[in-house]
Structure formats: C-alpha cells, structure tokens
Amino acid sequence: MIKLIATDMDGTLLNAAHEITEDNINAIKFAQDNGIPVVIATGRAFYEANGPVQDTALKVPYICLNGAEVRDESFDILHTSSLNHELLQKIRNVLNAENIYYQVYTNFGIYTEDPERDLEIYMDIARKAGQKGDEAKIRAGIQQRIDNGTLKVVDNYDQIESVPGEIIMKLLAYDADLDKIDRANRLLSESTNLAVSSSSRGNLEITHSDAQKGIALGEIADQLGIDMKHVMAIGDNRNDLSMLNRVGYPVAMNNAVEEVKDAATLVTLTNEESGVAHAIFKLLKEENGLDFRGE
C-alpha cells in the first residue's frame, strides 16, 4: 500500500514549458484527498521550485537542492545541510582545475560570476533538450532573475562566505565537454563528505553527503511514521536515484536515463504525457484500490 508519494520536478512533474499539467494536478489532489501526502523533491532552490506550483492550488512540502533544504507546506524551513569552507575549497579546486563553470546556491539566492556564461549554458541545455533556444527570451529570463534578486552577480565567489548568516548548500557545475565533467565527477566522488549527482547531461550537482533526496525523503517518512516500503518516488535523472533506491515503489519516467529506468519497478509515460499522473492513478488503483473517476 502506498502511503507517501515524492516526485521530482524537471523532466518529471513539469513539461517542457516548465508547467504542471492539469492531469498531474488532478493526480496529486486525488492522492492528497485520499490521505496520501505528496512531496516535491527537486534540485531547484525553493524560490525556483515554488514558481510552477504557485500557478496551481496545490500545497505540498518541498525537498529542495537535492535535500540540502526541506520546507513544509507553509514554506517554513525544517532542515538545512551546508558545505563548510574546507569542502568548498575542495570542490572549487577540482572545478577550477578543469575550468568548469559553476553557480553557488545559498539560503539567500543563487550566485554567478558571469551571467554571460549562464546564457550560454541555458542555450546549450535548450538545444540538447531539442528545444529552439530563443536567446532574447532566455537573456530576459536571466535578467529578470538578477533584477528580482534570485540570481546575484559577484566578482568573486570568495565574497559569499563573508556574508553574515549566509550558508552555502549546493554548487551546480556545467560544461559541454563531458570528459571534463566525468573527470571532475570521479575526483569529487572520492570524498565521503560530498554527494555528487546530475540532473541533466553535462552538469554536476554537488552537496554535502547528508543532502540527498533519498535521505530527506526518509526523514519525512519517519516523521510521518511511514515505512519506506510504503513510499512511491518518481524521477528521471541521477539525482533521483537516492530516493528511488530507498522506496518500495520506484517509478521512472519514460524519458528517464537508463540508470534510473533500471532502478524502477515501473516505467511510466514521459513528462510531456503527464507520466506522473499516469503512475499515480495506476499504482493507487492497483495497490490501494483507489479508482480516479474525474469530476
């Protein structure tokens, strides 16, 4: 029986337009109406994750930054996991040696040393996703993030550590040269205090080893008195593996990487086909005897 559901966002709950489809909204509401909590588990920062949800009437807890920050339905912070100076230096030394660009995620926002590199990255991601990258639109989006303070430009990342009350929770690295990414991944993964994952081809998401989606989901389940064998998790990329490998009902999107599909007991439809809704309706009917009949 399923008693708790967790879903990733990008490539999973969200379609290519970064929207939650009506089918997915209905599926989440259906689960909630039947007493089954639904948690969003994402590599995004909270202010990026909450945007698409705000466009719906959904109220959900959030596992953000791959588990480095957990918030309840009222957006109150329940837990954070940070990177100390020693770990930061280790990460930066590896990335700088390979000349790999990265952003720094903190409790105050996302930092960049070079907004133009951000533009290149988002354009390249759009191309790899098979989307036509509208440079003017992407540039305007980056500028909007700078203007509203969610993307902060600094001359040097060293400035961040001197800000009172600021904690660094994640570094997001990106390079089109996959050999460089693989080398950095191998070196960083040698540290037992770091968790290195990926949310798309060519990137690395680096957090403290305590900050993983699966660990955070396990803590939420424990607080609710739910055994992980009764938890369903849905994802598409490697940063979802820590939760898929821990739950009783691991689900992969049809657009997921092969490693994620191999970890799943069910492969659902793609994110463009409301695969989250398909999986929720299917498993709640099979495992809980709940049949969605719509309005």
Answer whether residue 128 shows pLDDT above 80. no
Give per-residue pLDDT as tens, 143-180: 666 666 678 889 999 999 888 999 999 999 999 899 99
Is 26's pLDDT higher than 80?
yes
Q: Fold identical between 4-80+212-288 and 85-208?
A: no
pLDDT tens track for 57-96:
999 999 999 999 999 999 999 999 999 999 999 999 999 9
Please tell me the distance from the alpha carbon of residue 287 to that of residue 10, in angstroms, as a whole number: 26
Catalytic residue among 8, 10, 118, 236: 8
Question: What six digits make up the tokens of 40?
Answer: 């969003």
Q: Which fold has domain 4-80+212-288?
A: Rossmann fold (3.40.50)
Q: Are 112 and 153 in contact (CB under 8 A)?
A: yes
- 85-208: what fold? 3.30.1240
In the chain, domain spans: 4-80+212-288, 85-208
List CB contacts of 144: < 8 A, sequence separation 6 or more. Answer: none
Binned at pLDDT 50, 70 and 90, residue 293 comes out as confident
- What single-letter amino acid sits at 170? K
The tens digit of pLDDT for each residue in 226-265 reads 999 999 999 999 999 999 999 999 999 999 999 999 999 9
Host H or E run for residue 132: none
- The answer to whether residue 8 is catalytic is yes
**For residues 173 and 206, is the Cβ–Cβ distance under 8 A?**
yes
Report the percent of the chain where pLDDT is more than 90: 78
